[in-house]
Amino acid sequence: MKRWLKLVAGAAAITLATAGCAGSGGGDNASGSGGTGTGTLTVWLMTGSAPESLTGALNKEFEAAHAGVKVDYQIQQWNGIQQKLTTALAGDNPPDVIEVGNTQTPAFAADSVLEDLTSSVNDLNGAQWLAGLKASGEYDGKTYGVPFYAANREVLYRKDMFAAAGITAPPTSNAEWLADITKLKAKFGSDPQFQPLYLPGQYWYSLLSFIWDNGGDIAKADGKSFKSTLDSAGSKAGLEFYKQLVDTSGTTAPKDNDEANPQQAGIYGGGKVAMMIGTPGEVATAAKTDPSIAGKTGAFAIPGKTAGQPAPVFLGGSNLVVPINSKNKDLAKAYLKLLSGDKYMTQMAAAGYVPGTSSDVSALDKDPLGAVMAKASKSGRAVPTSPKWGEVESGQNPLKDMLTAYLTGKKTVDQATADANAALDKIIGG
């Protein structure tokens, strides 16, 4: 009993003390956001995007240029971001600049909760915007999102293993790729843990490359409405090639999960995998397991059907947007101007990203893995710009179900694509 009372008393004291602090903090915020020239500019970027050195310098430079303005910079988690953004946008005092995933942007744009930035495009280096990202920030002929950065996938491979298997040059076509997988298997196959290509079943970003390469697509736009085309011949061919890769490689990666569960870079780092499809950044994760692996890793573009013509890649990335309820729109635009300039875009490239508003990728080209990515990004493509696409990714993704059902043999290619097509139409169709 006594112990319990002590606990109560202690906690009560803490509660009282902090209630006071929190109250005063809230007051500051409210009073600071009113003005146009001065006040607080709230900026939300995602975890793992711009490096701290960049944001530190950027915010300092911005504050120096705008006397009396303070940048309130917050890093957001991916987990639960949909709820966080929804509620934040609904507030009467939303953040002023937000990083939004490129596949989420159309939904926000369509619901008119973002500031129309069309008139500022030229100010923001508009001529150099990355094509694949640009489309995701546009809705109904207007521009709502400024491309921030993108990353796309390539095949990361072990140079030493390729050499040992007698492969002199990386494959440039699907046929060569499959042949090299067979060669690697012949060389290292005696080790039951060896996998020529690690390819988890629900890695739908990779699937997109094969679908596009075979002339298929996820969906077809018809004016403002969309009709899914996963049951087209090209889409089926892409899915079939995916299975061919999985079967030829004999990968033990889970067929019912994606590249993040378990983390494929960790498995690659284990040293029993000759190739994985990933972004250059994943090599750093693999190096946590085995620091020597970075030096042994090379990259080539995801091969296509035709030799020398790599498959198109999915451009994953982010846009920067200004909420329509922002109280500091002019400041927000000034911030975007600074961030989209060459100085900071070069730093994004140096951090390993394809910059969104600058075509200068020289900083990225310095790294051989980055160079391959930068080159492939030119043929980068995006998911349908349907405002409902966000629902596909934050909800139940039919493409993942399709892959698992087909790869595990539960459904034929016709059945799997037909079901996925119907499920996708239910979300984005109409």
Partner 1 sequence: MTATKEMPTPAGATPPASARVSPPKPRRRGGFGERLTPYLLILPALVAVLVLLGWPTIQMLLISLRRLDLRELVTGKMVWIGLANYTDTLSDPEFWSVTIRTILFTAALVAATLVVALLIAVLMRHLNPVIRICVQVSLVLAWAVPVIATTTVFQWIFDQQYGILNKTLDKLGFHSFIGYSWFSTGGSTLTVIGLLVLWQAVPFVAFTLYAGLIGVPREQYEAAGIDGAGPFQTFRAVSWPAIRPILTMVTFLSVLWDFNMFGQVWAIRQGGPDGQSTTLAILQYLKGIAGSHFGSAAAIATIMLVLLLAVTARYVQLLVRTKDGEIA
Partner 2 sequence: MKKSLTQRVTLSVVGLLVALVFFFPTYWMFTTSLKTPGDVLSPKYDLIPTSATLSNFASALTKPGFVTYLGNSLIVTLGAVIAALVVGVLAAIPLARFRFRGRKGFLLLILMAQLAPLSALFIPMYLLMRDLGLLNTLPSLLLVYFATSLPFTVWMLYGFVNGIPYDLEEAAMIDGCSRTGAFRRVTLPLLGPGLVTTSVFSFITAWNEFLFALVFMRDQSKQTLPVWLSSFRTAFSVDWGGVMAASVVYAIPALVFFLIVQRKLVSGMTAGAVKG
Shortest Cβ 347–partner 2 spacing (Å) = 20
Going by C-alpha positions, the residue among 339, 337, 345, 342 that lies closest to residue 123 is 337
Rule CB under 8 A: is residue 116 a binding residue for partner 1? no
Close Cβ partners of 343 (under 8 Å, ≥ 6 residues apart):
none
Rule CB under 8 A: is residue 53 a binding residue for partner 2? no
Q: 60 or 410, CB closer to partner 1?
A: 410
Place of tokens 């190096």: 287
DSSP symbol at 232: S
Shortest Cβ 116–partner 1 spacing (Å) = 14
Rule CB under 8 A: is residue 11 a binding residue for partner 2? yes
- Out of 63, 309, 394, 418, the only residue in the binding site for partner 1 (CB under 8 A) is 394
Contact partner at residue 256 from partner 1, partner 2, none, CB < 5 to 8 Å by partner kind: partner 1
How many residues touch partner 1 (CB under 8 A)?
34
Round to whole Å and give the CA distance between 427 and 116.
Answer: 26
Contact partner at residue 118 from partner 2, partner 1, none, CB < 5 to 8 Å by partner kind: none
Rule CB under 8 A: is residue 1 a binding residue for partner 2? yes
Rule CB under 8 A: is residue 415 a binding residue for partner 1? no
Round to whole Å and give the CA distance between 225 and 393.
Answer: 18
Going by C-alpha positions, the residue among 46, 43, 134 that lies closest to residue 82 is 46
Alpha helices for 155-301 (secondary structure H): 159-164, 174-188, 204-213, 233-249, 264-269, 282-289, 293-296
Stretch that binds partner 2, among 57-65, 79-87, 216-224, 361-369 (CB under 8 A): 79-87
Rule CB under 8 A: is residue 15 a binding residue for partner 2? yes
Under a CB-based contact definition with an 8 Å cutoff, are residues 121 and 320 in contact?
no
What residues between 42 and 101 interact with partner 1 by CB under 8 A? Answer: 82-83, 86, 89-90
Residue 75: how many other CB atoms lie within 10 Å: 15
Round to whole Å and give the CA distance between 18 and 85.
Answer: 27
> Which residues contact partner 2 (rule: CB under 8 A)?
1, 3-4, 7-8, 11-12, 14-15, 18-19, 22-23, 25-26, 29-30, 42, 46-48, 72, 74-75, 77-80, 83-84, 87-88, 90-92, 95, 193, 260-263, 265-267, 269-270, 279, 281-282, 285, 288-290
